[in-house]
Amino acid sequence: MQDVYKKTIYIIRHGQTEGNVRGNWLGARSINPLNEYGKKQAEDTARVLREKAVDASRIFSSPTRRALEHSEIIHKRLGYPIEKVNSITEINLGLLEDRTREQGLRLVPEEIDDWNNNLRNFDPPLGETALEASERFFETIKLLTINDSKPDFIIVSHGVVIKLLLASVLKASLETGETKIQVPQTKHGSISVFNFDGQNFTFKNIIENKYLDSKEVANFG
């Protein structure tokens, strides 16, 4: 009999948007859609899931436009229904939302310094802290995974919260006081693969997208 708690989790970073290309701050409230390259990245994630014969009940998607558009493309190719989950969205960037890097630096220079050098203290005005986003995302995924009966699990989400999950799983956690978290980079359309045993997550690997981002674009949103 299969252990219903043991899962393989595929966490997809949504495809590229024009806001990503411009280097804007894209958080939980950004309405940027996928660009044409991002749609190709979504098609490629569908290809990977098909080739791996992933057996999931549905796609759990962030409610942002870019994540839902990515999920819709997978749905059209593979038929998984989509369920929106608000608490797997990107970090809320508050006043930084949709601003350029230069505008953010002029508006809240201390927060930008924390973003670059001490993410543990990142706390944008009218937004949420990195610690809050990390806990929200981690606990939601754990709860959803425990309560799902299928052996595989698909999530479409965002770069920052995926980075924070990797930090927690790989013990590069913000709670330890580390200022720079060193984890594998996830580019747009990449798939971070984890195993879950009912208690703990184990990082397995990152599947790169056939349509690669530049390193600069991958850093944004």
Per-residue pLDDT of 27-38, as tens digits, reads 999 999 999 999
Residue 202 included in any domain? yes
Instruction: Tell me the pLDDT of the chain averaged across its residues.
Output: 92
Instruction: Give the separation between CA 13 and CA 149, rounded to whole angstroms.
Output: 23
Which pLDDT score, from 0 to 100, does residue 218 have? 85
Residue 100 included in any domain? no
The pLDDT tens digits for 47-95 are: 999 999 999 999 999 999 999 999 999 999 999 999 999 999 999 999 9
- Average pLDDT value for residue range 1-20: 86
- Average pLDDT value for residue range 134-162: 96
Pick 167 or 15 by higher pLDDT.
15
The yes-or-no verdict on residue 176 having pLDDT over 80 is no
Instruction: Give the separation between CA 5 and CA 196, rounded to whole angstroms.
Output: 7
Write down the residue that tokens 């390193």 correspond to: 215
Residue 101 included in any domain? no
Concatenated DSSP letters of the chain: ---TT-EEEEEEEPPPBHHHHHT----TT--PPB-HHHHHHHHHHHHHHHHTT--EEEEEE-SSHHHHHHHHHHHHHH---EEE-GGGS----GGGTT--HHHHHHH-HHHHHHHHH-GGG---TTS--HHHHHHHHHHHHHHHHHT--SSEEEEEE-HHHHHHHHHHHTT--GGGT-SS-------TT-EEEEEE-SS-EEEEEEE--SSPPPHHHHT--
Residue 44 included in any domain? yes
Number of neighbouring beta carbons within 10 Å of residue 56: 21
Residue 67 included in any domain? yes
Residue 63 included in any domain? yes
CATH of the domain at 157: 3.40.50.1240
Which pLDDT score, from 0 to 100, does residue 214 have? 87
Which pLDDT score, from 0 to 100, does residue 4 have? 59
- Which residues constitute the domain of residue 66? 7-92+129-218
Percent of the chain with pLDDT over 70: 93
| Helix axes 65-78 and 36-51, enclosed angle (nearest 10) | 40
pTM of the model: 0.94
Percent of the chain with pLDDT over 90: 80
Instruction: Give the separation between CA 133 and CA 118, rounded to whole angstroms.
Output: 15
> Among 37-46, 84-93, 107-116, where is mean pLDDT lowest?
107-116
The count of structural domains within the chain is 1
User: b or e along 204-214 (b: 16 or more beta carbons within 10 Å of the residue's beta carbon)?
Assistant: eebbbbebebe
Which pLDDT score, from 0 to 100, does residue 173 have? 64
Residue 97 included in any domain? no
Which pLDDT score, from 0 to 100, does residue 31 have? 93
SS (H, E, C) 164-189: HHHHHHCCCCHHHCCCCCCCCCCCCC
Q: Which of 154, 210, 157, 213 is nearest to 185 (CA)?
A: 213
- Average pLDDT value for residue range 90-116: 93
Residue 103 included in any domain? no
